[in-house]
Structures are given as C-alpha cells and as structure tokens.
Amino acid sequence: MAAPVSLLTFVFAIVTLSDRIQAQKGGFSVDMIHRDSPNSPLYNHLDTTYDRLTNALRRSFGRAHRLNPISAPTMDVQADIIANSGEYLMNISIGTPAFDIIAIADTGSDLIWTQCKPCSKCFKQNDPLFDPTASSTYKTISCSARQCTHLEGSSCSSYHSCRYSVSYGDGSYSDGDVAADTLILSSTSGPPVILPNVVIGCGHHNGGTFSENESGIIGLGGGDVSLISQLGDTIAGKFSYCLLPLTETGNSSKMNFGSDAIVSGNGAVSTPLTKIDPPTFYVLTLEAISVGTNRINFLYRPFGTNEGNIIIDSGTTLTLLPEDFYSQVESSVSSMIDATKVKGPDGLSLCYDAITEFAVPDITVHFTGADVKLQPLNTFAMVTETIACFTFAPILDLAIYGNLAQMNFLVGYDTEKQTVSFKPTDCTKN
C-alpha cells in the first residue's frame, strides 16, 4: 500500500491503573504533526513552503499506486506503504520500561511494526532500535494463536513462533516476529492510555525507501491488528481528526479517540462506509461532484457493486480521480475561471498565474447522504509564489479522497456504525 498519509505525535509515560481506566472510559486526543512541519524530525529547513508542497504532491501518486486494493496482492495489502509516502508521523511508546519510537501513521495499513534488535539487515535509523529482550512485557506469539493464523503473510518459525512478512510495490519490505507488548499513548486531554498485549511486528530484516528518522509503520486501517481495532471498546470504534490548512506550518493538528471523536452539530453530515476485502481501507461512495451548478455524476464501480468507489485517506495529499471523470471535472472548473493558464508541477494539469487573484468556482463533493462543500483552500494550492494549481488530479484507476480536500473539516470515523462524518471546522481552534 502506499499513499498519502498524516503525522501524529505522542509522548508517553506510565500511569496508574486507575488513571488508565479513567482515560479509557472517556475520550482522548493526541497531536498530529505533518511530516513537513518544523516540529517533525523529517523537516528540512532548506526547503521552501513551495518545495514541501510539491514534494507532497509527488508522494500522492506513489502512494496511490501502492494503495490499490484491486491489483495489489493480498499479502502486500496487509501493510502496504512506503516510508516517505506518509504525510503524518506518530510517536508511541512500547515495552516495559517504555521505549519511544516514531513511525508513519497510516490509515491505509494495519500492522504496527518497528525495527528491532538483533537486525540482520535494517535500513539506517538515527534513533536506537527497540530491544525486545529489554522489555519485561514482550512475548512472541505462537503459530497456533489466532493473532497469527488471521494475519496475512504470516508463517511459522523453526521455534514454532509466528513470523510476518510484508513487501511493497517499490521494493520496500519488513520481515520479523509477531509479538505482543505494552503500548502507551499520551493524551493532550487527560492521562496517558496504556494498552497491554498489543500485537506488533518486531522487524529483524527491513529495507527500502524509509527515512533515517523513522522506525516503521503504525497501521490505522480497519483490519484486526491495526491500532484502531486493537483499541477496541476503549474508543467504541471512533476516531476523528482535524487537519490544519497548509499555512499553519509549525502547529499541530489533532486526532481524537472515543467520546472525543464524535462529530455532530450544525453542518455535520455523514456517509456510509463500505466494507471491502481486505478490510484495511476506508471506502466511501462518491455519487457526483458539482462545479457551480454543473453536477457531474461518478459512475465508477471498481468493486462490481453500486456501493464503494473511493478511498478516503489522510496520507494522500491530492484527490485522485479516474482519468475520464477527472477530465470532465477539470473542464468544468476551467470554464469558470478567468485567469491565465500556466505549466505547473508534473501531474497537475490545471494551473494558473496567481500574481493577480482570481475567483474559483464552488465545488461540492456528493457522497451518499453527505454533500461536502469545499472551500478554495481545499481545491487550489500555491505551488510557487506565482502559480496556483487545482488539487485534484487524474489517476489510471483508483479514486482517493486526499487530505487537502479534508483540511478545515472535522472528519470522524465510526467503525461500529460504519460511517464517516464531515463538519466544516476552523481546525486552528479545534
């Protein structure tokens, strides 16, 4: 899998059992740090704002190719992502005593894995590797355990312990032990949350395009071993996030869990989630896109049914649409803009000279039961000091609703009710 994704930062500490229960009964929130924020370990101070956006746009296309549940082998889909395609990172702690790791937070994969000692072959990592022998709560999982038999790509070692193997379209991979250990999430709204016996992957053979400042993947998808699924009743299947506009560099977005993640009130709309195989992906049904009063129906049916045709992904920057449909949307947008067209970055076909401000048409995304009206910050972005480009782009097959379209919306997932909700929100105040 590989797709655009988002950054979450957690600082963790051990708390008493009573504190843990208090945190779990209610909701809690954590910081989300964009990979290009000054608060991110991936931040490059030499890059301009426009360099960072252009890099993120390029990552969108790479991620889309690895997110495709139609063409990707089932084993790869289990944790299909590459390191630098994710847009957000997460800091968590694992083990006893707590050991901090930073990894890509990925709504398009499930398994939580990190590089571990001993490492027969690992990608270069600035921080120390996790040493499972130093954790008193670490234990390997047997081949016969449900957590092993239900995990795609699992196998049995000569010691009868469970092994995992994941690989990605760009050649990145991770192989190692399936284990259970304590995982700790700190909360910005209360005491930290301690989760015992969380299934993780301890990678002893890893490689590919990972950054030196990352140690692995934190899966936030819909599968059994994702962080969301393993939080279980603790969060009642609910999480939400509010992504800041691109102009808010240096500040943190928020991800909320449990009762803190309920999206309701004036302006909130909800649309059904569609279950597909594998269950990793969050799939919605896009019925149409309106540009002004011109409604363009979306008849794409990748799964052979009338439900489910677009993946919502916090890690993909652009909104990517099949070529024929995109062409209709672009043509309609272009016909309503009075400005000079110019060449933009590769992959973005509708760009304008923005030295003089120009008006953009209203664009509404029609999901089943939910009309989401986008603002100009969702549909056009400055890619240089003088060029603004449309933030939708064509792709050969897979449709993805990216994070630029989600900025300044409170986006809530309820995996029990199987819905995603949107509410226009000033995320700087959320």
DSSP H or E segment with residue 89: strand 88-94
Tell me, what DSSP letter sits at residue 212? T
Burial label for 373, CB within 10 Å (0-12, 13-18, 19+), is middle
Longest dimension (CA), the chain: 69
**Catalytic residue from among 36, 76, 313, 414:** 313
**Which residues face 401 on adjacent strands?**
312
Query: Is residue 361 within 8 Å of 330, Cβ to Cβ?
Result: no
Query: Which residue in 355, 359, 369, 382 sits closest to 421, CA to CA?
Result: 369
CA distance 151 to 308: 24
CA atoms within 13 A on the CB side of 242: 23
**Catalytic residue from among 31, 36, 80, 106:** 106
* Other residues' Cβ atoms within 10 Å of the Cβ of residue 330: 18
CA atoms within 13 A on the CB side of 84: 18
Q: Cα-flanking dihedrals φ and ψ of residue 201, to 5°?
A: -105, 130
CA distance 159 to 174: 20
Whether the bond between 118 and the residue before it is cis, its omega within 30 degrees of 0, is yes
CA distance 144 to 415: 28
Concerning whether 106 is annotated as a catalytic residue, the answer is: yes
CA angle 80, 370, 253 (to 5 degrees): 55
CA distance 146 to 92: 25
Cα distances (angstroms) measured from residue 46 to each of 9, 41, 50: 23, 14, 11
Quickly tell me which residue has 């930290």 as its tokens: 192
Tell me the DSSP string of 366-416: EETTEEEEEPHHHHEEESSSSEEEESEEEESS--EE-STTTTTEEEEEETT
Catalytic residues: 106, 313
